Amino acid sequence: MESSRRRFLKVAGISALGAGSIGAKPVLNAFAATGGGHGEEKPVIKMVPNKESLMGTRWAMVIDTRKLTSAGDLEPMIEACHKVHNVPKLENKNHEIKWLWEEEFKHAFPGKINRYIEDEAIAHRPFLVLCNHCENPPCVQACPTKATFQREDGIVMMDFHRCIGCRFCMAACPFGARSFNFRDPKPFIEEAELNKKFPTRCKGVVEKCNFCAERLAVGQMPACVDASKGAMAFGDLDDPESEVRKLIRENFTIRRKQNLGTMPSVYYIV
């Protein structure tokens, strides 16, 4: 018994050494390859943010509804947004895709409705609504694949590559800001309207406003803000000198469904 164990350990030890001497070389080579130290051999590849990119830690939007009194005032912004992002125009209400759209006060702010508010202009004023890019986004918690996520600058983004179209996020969003592609959207984008710089979506994914993340990356303001002639402002809430903070400081602002605690980042001056 004892001698056989002894023999077994001897053989095992020798074969481990043998295997080691054969196996060790590639292992060492692999270490050398990953360990660096050969600057001139290994190409230096870097991925960096765009130089002109706008940086922020808490992007937000302020919409001055006093300057937007009719549906016609909202049209250029909606048009600009939907054009730049290849949002299809589907006539069927059930299939409609919306990034930025018009809503009545009573629907946009259901908790803030007063009985006799009908007398005032505000009740009939069209409100521009979009994804609120909540600080505490329920859609992100609901998403089972992390296709929707919150960036470090506060933007709630969609990764269409990962979206499986389960629509939990649509159920979770209290603002109806998300649309599902029931049909392939491509035939519903006019050829002449197509923005070739931006991808379209495919059938079976959920989409919504992305706060123009692709425009911020090249130093531009969101498309709707650019088209609003000063009725909308965009900036960083964490920067006390930003335009949005200034507007919030100087005006009375409301946000949608604040009582739900999602902390929307879109403020309305009323």
Partner 1 sequence: MQKKLYNKNVVIAGLIILAVLATFPFWYNHGKAAPAPKPELTEKAKAAKECIRPTAYMKTEHMQLLDVWRDTVVRDGIRTYVNEAGKEFDMSLSNTCLDCHSNKEKFCDVCHEYASVDPYCWDCHIENPKENE
Closer Cβ to partner 1, 153 or 236, answer by number: 153
Minimum distance from CB of 48 to partner 1 (Å)?
Answer: 5
Q: Given the complex with partner 1, which of 115 and 161 has the nearer CB atom?
A: 161
- Of 228, 231, 227, 248, the residue nearest 239 (C-alpha): 248
Nearest approach, Cβ of residue 219 and partner 1 (Å): 12
Nearer to partner 1, 38 or 249 (CB): 38
| Cβ 34 to partner 1 shortest distance, Å | 16
- Bridge partners of 95, per DSSP, are none
Residue 130 CB, nearest distance to partner 1 (Å)? 20
Closest to partner 1 by CB, 126 vs 222, is 222
* Among 98, 100, 95, CA closest to 184: 95
Could you tell me the smallest distance in angstroms from the CB atom of residue 209 to partner 1? 15
Between 146 and 249, whose beta carbon lies closer to partner 1? 146
Q: List Cβ neighbours of 186 (8 Å cut-off, separation of 6 or more).
A: 88, 200
* DSSP-assigned states of every residue in 165-187: ---HHHHH-TT---EE-SS-SGG
* Minimum separation from the CB atom of position 46 to partner 1 (A): 4
With respect to partner 1, which residue has the nearer C-beta, 83 or 246?
A: 83
Write the CA distances from 234 to 49, 73, 213, 224, 245, integer angstroms.
Answer: 20, 18, 12, 10, 10
Give the Cα separation of 124 and 71 in Å (integer).
10
Asked whether the beta carbons of 201 and 244 are under 8 A apart, the reply is no
CB 198 within 8 A of CB 182: no
Closer residue to partner 1, CB minimum distance, 93 or 196: 196
CB of 83 closer than 8 Å to CB of 191: no
CB of 249 to partner 1, least distance (A): 28
Q: Which residues bind partner 1 (CB under 8 A)?
A: 43-51, 53, 149, 151, 153, 157, 159-161, 191, 194, 196-197, 199-202, 213, 217
Give me the residues paired with residue 233 across strands: 62
Q: Residue 211: count other Cβ atoms within 10 Å of its Cβ.
A: 26
Q: Which two tokens stand for residue 103?
A: 């809503």
- Please write down the HEC assignment for all residues of 72-88: HHHHHHHHHHHHHCCCC
d(CA 49, CA 9) in angstroms, rounded, equals 57
Q: Closest distance between partner 1 and the C-beta of residue 45, in Å? A: 6
The residue (of 75 and 193) whose beta carbon lies closer to partner 1 is: 193
